[in-house]
Amino acid sequence: MRKQYNSAPLPFVGQKRMFAREFKKVLEQFPDGTTFVDLFGGSGLLSHITKYQKPHSKVVYNDFDGYKLRLEHIPQTNELLAELREIVHGIPRHKPVKGDTREKVFECLQKHQERYGYLDFITISSSIMFSMKYCLSIEEMRKEALYNTIRKTDYPLCSDYLDGLTIVSEDYKQVFNQYKDTHSVVFLVDPPYLSTEVGTYKMYWKLADYLDVLTILAGHSFVYFTSNKSSILELCDWIDRNKAIGNPFEKCTKVEFNAHMNYNASYTDIMLYKNTVQTPFER
């Protein structure tokens, strides 16, 4: 019998394993045969659970972040982790990897990348870096401290994890437009966290990007995920109570100034101004 996963088999920031039980209850409201479209597929966990719970439904998994490719390379990733365990075997868990051992780690990564032409940087980052830090290249990793947090056992192959799913890899707007007129469609909407740029996403999400997602919800059945960090619900409530205000910054002049806090951290100060005071000559 096919196994049901309640967490993603490989590391992924933002996977919804804590919602697995409640998400299954939500799915009970929709008949088997409903079309489900996972616009921000991420680790594929929502798509996997949906297909398991609704085997006769079409489930579209938008694998924009290449999770399927990571799953296909689990044997090579396990091989690399075995080599890394040997390199750091004398270092206690959760302690820094320094000096010659650190260089041997990078030599191992480089050799593996040349051998297979691929590295699962998300999984490797979670194995040799501080918790929740991710890099997408060896060059980026060289700028970070390394730690011995390597998993003690191999990752299971999980060959059935994505079984039965319709897998695409496109911008979510394209996927939405393809299925928006489908009868009995439910959109699973789990966008990246607002104003974040993490290793598991290929883009930086600004407020406008986050709000754009809301335009696809009107008139459709959906399951939407967010967090209190985004304040998106509070914002929508405020807009609903102040419909007539419009855009107060329309026709403003914008002045920007780039500021640097340290060698790798910066921000942009913004000044907006509009003059609505008439001069004597304009009256």
CATH assignment at residue 237? 3.40.50.150
Structural domain contains residue 283: no
Q: Which residues pair with 257 in a beta bridge?
A: 269
Rounded Cα gap, residues 87 and 109, in angstroms: 12
- Burial class from Cβ neighbours inside 10 Å (0-12, 13-18, 19+) for residue 90 reads exposed
Are 58 and 109 in a shared domain?
A: no
Q: Is residue 51 assigned to a domain?
A: yes
- In Å, the largest CA–CA distance within the chain is 83
Residue 50 covered by a domain = yes
Q: Are residues 123 and 185 in the same domain?
A: no
136 with 27, same domain: the answer is no
Domain assignment of residue 130, given as a range: 69-147
pTM summary value: 0.83
Last residue of a domain, one of 92, 125, 147: 147
Q: Which of 147, 182, 198 is the last residue of a domain?
A: 147
Structure tokens at 52: 């398991």
Give CA–CA dist 154/160, Å, rounded. Answer: 17
Residues 119 and 172 grouped into a single domain: no
Residue 11 CA to its chain's centroid (Å): 11
- Residue 94 inside a domain? The answer is yes
Shared-domain flag, residues 209 and 75:
no
* 264 domain residue, yes or no: no
Question: Is residue 100 located within the same domain as residue 166?
Answer: no
The C-alpha atoms of residue 256 and residue 92 are separated, in whole angstroms, by 48
CA 259, 131, 15, 77: dihedral to nearest 10 degrees?
A: 110
> What string of pLDDT tens digits covers the 283 residues of the chain?
678 999 999 998 777 788 888 999 999 999 999 999 999 999 999 999 999 999 999 999 999 989 999 999 999 999 999 999 999 999 999 999 999 999 999 999 999 999 999 999 999 999 999 877 888 999 999 999 999 999 999 999 998 999 999 999 999 999 999 999 999 999 999 887 654 444 455 556 677 888 888 888 888 999 988 776 667 778 788 878 888 888 777 887 777 777 766 656 676 767 666 555 555 555 5
What integer pLDDT is reported at residue 201 of this predicted model?
53
At residue 198, the pLDDT reads 46
Residue 81 belongs to some domain of the structure: yes
Q: Are residues 141 and 76 in the same domain?
A: yes
Say whether both 86 and 134 belong to one domain: yes
DSSP character at residue 16:
-
In a domain? residue 113: yes
Based on the domain organization, do 103 and 237 belong to the same domain? no
Q: What's the confidence (pLDDT) of residue 36?
A: 97
Asked, for residue 255, whether it belongs to a domain, the answer is: no
Residue 80 and residue 58 in one domain = no
Same domain, 139 and 30: no
Last residue of a domain, one of 99, 117, 147: 147
On whether both 84 and 223 belong to a single domain, the answer is no
When divided into structural domains, the chain yields a total of: 2
